[in-house]
């Protein structure tokens, strides 16, 4: 895999609420000119699981919440199939403002917004991360491989010590390619195994 070097980490507020207030006023890239709302992220993350998607779509831009459109409904079902609720996980995106027409965020936009995602990860301290789709996998893993090649491949990175990371397909891709749901369910089951979860959400062995 071709590694992309990490940018130096700027300093931000050292709590999630402060970081959110900071990001809500961000104008660091041109997406600030066309957004209606910044979509920072949501959830309590008490399960230790964090999802990272690509960026807000029209519904998210309208509501200010991540994954609330059709792809969001599917993500909610995926979370519930793992025996969890949306409140128990944390959901964020690689960019916090909607790219016009739902295009893929440009390298400049990804680079401008990445420090916020890194700060979210640092403050939340998740134990597990599921990367939804190619953009999230490329941004978080700092590599350029296609999602088809790396999905289902667990990794841990020195940049994120102690976090098990699983790249898989984005729910929007599953809406277009339902046959890929089997692969995603396999990836989710792997993560459930890490978390000691049965399908009912109970910790196994109880």
Question: What residues make contact with ligand SF4 under the rule CB under 6 A?
Answer: 23, 26-29, 31-32, 38, 95-97, 109, 112-113
Contact of 7 with 114, CB cutoff 8 Å: yes
Closest to ligand SF4 by CB, 60 vs 109, is: 109
Name the residue nearer to ligand SF4 (CB basis): 47 or 94: 94
Question: Closest approach of Cβ 116 to ligand SF4, in Å?
Answer: 6
- In the bound state with ligand SF4, the residue whose beta carbon lies nearer, of 112 and 132, is 112
The residues, any chain, with a CB within 8 Å of residue 27's CB and separated by 6 or more, are none
Quick one: 118 or 187, whose CB is closer to ligand SF4?
Answer: 118
Name the residue among 107, 111, 112, 75 with its Cα closest to residue 90.
75
Question: Least distance from C-beta 38 to ligand SF4, angstroms?
Answer: 6
| Distance (Å, whole) CA 68 – CA 26 | 22
Structure tokens, 206 = 């109880």
Phi-psi region for residue 151, left (φ > 0), alpha (ψ -120 to 50) or beta? beta
CA distance 181 to 137: 18
Rounded to a whole number of angstroms, the minimum distance from the CB of residue 6 to ligand SF4 is 17
- Please say which residue, 37 or 76, places its beta carbon nearer to ligand SF4: 37
Closest to ligand SF4 by CB, 27 vs 80, is 27
Minimum distance from residue 62 beta carbon to ligand SF4 (Å): 16
Q: Which are the contacts of 13, defined by CB distance < 8 A and separation ≥ 6?
A: 19, 21, 22
Q: What are phi and psi of 50, to 5 degrees?
A: -125, 135
Shortest separation between residue 85's beta carbon and ligand SF4, angstroms: 27
Rounded CA-CA distance 169/177 in Å is 10
User: Residue 21 CB, nearest distance to ligand SF4 (Å)?
Assistant: 12
């Amino acid at each position: 895999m071709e590694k992309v070097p990490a940018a130096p980490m700027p300093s931000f507020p050292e709590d999630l609420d402060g970081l959110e207030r900071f990001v809500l006023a961000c104008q660091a890239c041109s997406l600030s000119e066309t957004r209606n709302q910044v979509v920072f992220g949501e959830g309590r993350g008490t399960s230790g699981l964090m999802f990272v998607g690509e960026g807000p779509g029209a519904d998210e831009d309208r509501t200010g919440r991540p994954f609330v459109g059709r792809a969001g409904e599917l993500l909610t079902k995926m979370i519930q199939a793992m025996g969890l609720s949306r409140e128990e996980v944390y959901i964020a995106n690689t960019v916090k403002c909607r790219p016009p027409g739902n295009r893929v965020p440009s390298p400049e936009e990804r680079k401008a917004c990445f420090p916020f995602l890194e700060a979210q990860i640092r403050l939340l301290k998740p134990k597990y991360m599921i990367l939804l789709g190619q953009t999230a996998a490329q941004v978080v893993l700092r590599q350029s491989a296609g999602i088809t090649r790396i999905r289902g491949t667990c990794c841990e990175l020195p940049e994120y010590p102690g976090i098990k990371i699983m790249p898989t397909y984005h729910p929007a891709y599953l809406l277009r390619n339902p046959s890929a749901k089997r692969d995603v369910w396999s990836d989710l089951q792997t993560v459930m195994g890490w978390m000691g979860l049965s399908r009912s959400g109970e910790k196994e062995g109880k």
